[in-house]
Every structure is written in structure tokens, then in C-alpha cells.
Homo-oligomer: A and B are copies of this chain.
Amino acid sequence: MKKDTRLVLALDETDRKKALNIVDQVADHIDAVKINWPLVLSAGPEMITELSELTDVVCDFKVADIPNTVHLIVENAVARGASAVIVHAFTGEDSLTEAVKTAGNDAEIYAVTEMSHPGGKMFTALHAEEMARMGVRCGVAGFIAPATRPERVKAIRSIIGDRKIMSPGVGAQGGSASAAIAAGADYVIVGRAICKSDDPAAAAKAICDDIRTVL
């Protein structure tokens, strides 16, 4: 995945035409687009390929299954054009290793080690740092860490060396793009602040400008 503007668009739109239209408008300002299962369920898996012709695609599938199923999901997503796949760490070392092995040199695996919604504090947060160390052992390309809590980005950075960090939560959820990058994130993920804007390109450009102040 390229690392130029540091901005990843969370494409939370589930209508195919609207989704493609937004990406078309902001393609110059983003390094990648992040999609999730709701778009696949509404618009079909062909969306992965269609979007990959416009920009890099991160499949935020939060894969959380046994190794054989992880293999099939990552294999299909990468074959359809994904540049990265997001996988949960909590299903353990064998599942995460299988994701990395399946992606090979064709795509990057990002591991989720904690989640920022209230329920995320119940179980995943208890093991976040242990899961980050496990992710390093498994050879993942990067990790997901919340932009809303730059101290967590710093904590994960201290564990993972020079692996990448992708940080959701910028904009509508209150996180600052420049603060997340300054804390050690490689990419910030922004959804509503761009998708719901009357001028998505201008909104994306403003975030890129903010990021550049700390590079």
C-alpha cells in the first residue's frame, strides 16, 4: 500500500453508485479506501475489484475465524484486488499467521488488538498489548489503533517497532488527524467527515493539509 497522503477513506456508503462517486471525487487525496461487509452484502463482492481500479482497497472484514476460513476469506479478497485485509487478533496465533501466510507479498494484514466502542473495553482491551506482541510474532504488516486515544497509538507503537499503524476515529468521532499522526500513526481513517460533506474533495484535502503540518 502506498503511503503518500496518509489518509484512508472509510467508505461507509452501501449504495454502489454513491460509493463509487465519492471515491472518484477524493481519489487524489487518499492512499486507500476502506470497505466493510455491509458494502459487500449490498453491492456484491465485485465492488472490491471495481474500487481497486480507482485506489488501493483495504477490506475491513474483521476476520475472526478458524485458520481454514481465514485462509479462504483472505485469498478471495486479495484475488479480487484487496491491497490489505483487517483481521482480529483475538482468535489467536494460528488464525493470524494463516492470514499473513495467505496474503503473502500480494497484500498487507492489519491486526485489530483493541476496539474503541464501549463494548471493546469488556474483553479485547484486557489483552491489547499481548495481542500486539503476538501480531509482531505472526508477521503482520500493521495494526489498528484508535485516533481518539493518541496515548494508545503511542503504546502500540512502542511494542510494534516500525510496523504500520492505521487509526480510525478521526472527524465525526472526535479524533484529530494530525494528533494521531504525531502520536505515531501511519494512516488515519476518516469516514463521515468526508462522505457526509457537501464537498468530499475539499473535506479530504483539509484533512491532508492538517496531516502535513506534522510530517
Establish whether residues A41 and B123, one from each chain, have CB atoms under 8 Å apart when the complex forms.
Answer: no
Of A1-9, A86-94, A147-155, A182-190, the one contacting chain B is: A86-94
Establish whether residues B45 and A44, one from each chain, have CB atoms under 8 Å apart when the complex forms.
Answer: yes
CA A37 – CA B61 in complex, angstroms? Answer: 10
Chain copies in complex: 2
Residues of B within 8 A of A44 (CB): 44-45
What is the number of residues of chain A that contact chain B, defined by CB distance less than 8 Å?
43
CA A119 – CA B94 in complex, angstroms? Answer: 6
Establish whether residues A72 and B117, one from each chain, have CB atoms under 8 Å apart when the complex forms.
Answer: no
Of A73-81, A157-165, A194-202, the one contacting chain B is: A73-81
Q: Which of B36, B93, B122 contacts A65 (CB 8 A)?
A: B36
Establish whether residues A38 and B92, one from each chain, have CB atoms under 8 Å apart when the complex forms.
Answer: no
Establish whether residues A69 and B36, one from each chain, have CB atoms under 8 Å apart when the complex forms.
Answer: yes
Interface flags, A32-66, vs B, CB<8A=1, else 0: 00001110111011000000000000000111111
Q: Does A120 contact B (CB under 8 A)?
A: yes
Establish whether residues A117 and B41, one from each chain, have CB atoms under 8 Å apart when the complex forms.
Answer: no
Q: Does A171 contact B (CB under 8 A)?
A: no
CB of A69, distance to nearest CB on chain B (Å): 6
Q: Which of B73, B76, B119 contacts A92 (CB 8 A)?
A: B119
Interface flags, A8-29, vs B, CB<8A=1, else 0: 0000001000000000000000
Q: Which of A110-124 contact B (CB under 8 A)?
A: 115-124
Residue of B nearest to A97 (CB): B119
Residue of B nearest to A65 (CB): B62
CB of A189, distance to nearest CB on chain B (Å): 13
The contact sample of 8 A-B pairs, CB cut-off 8 A, is A36-B72, A64-B88, A66-B117, A91-B123, A92-B117, A92-B124, A93-B119, A94-B118
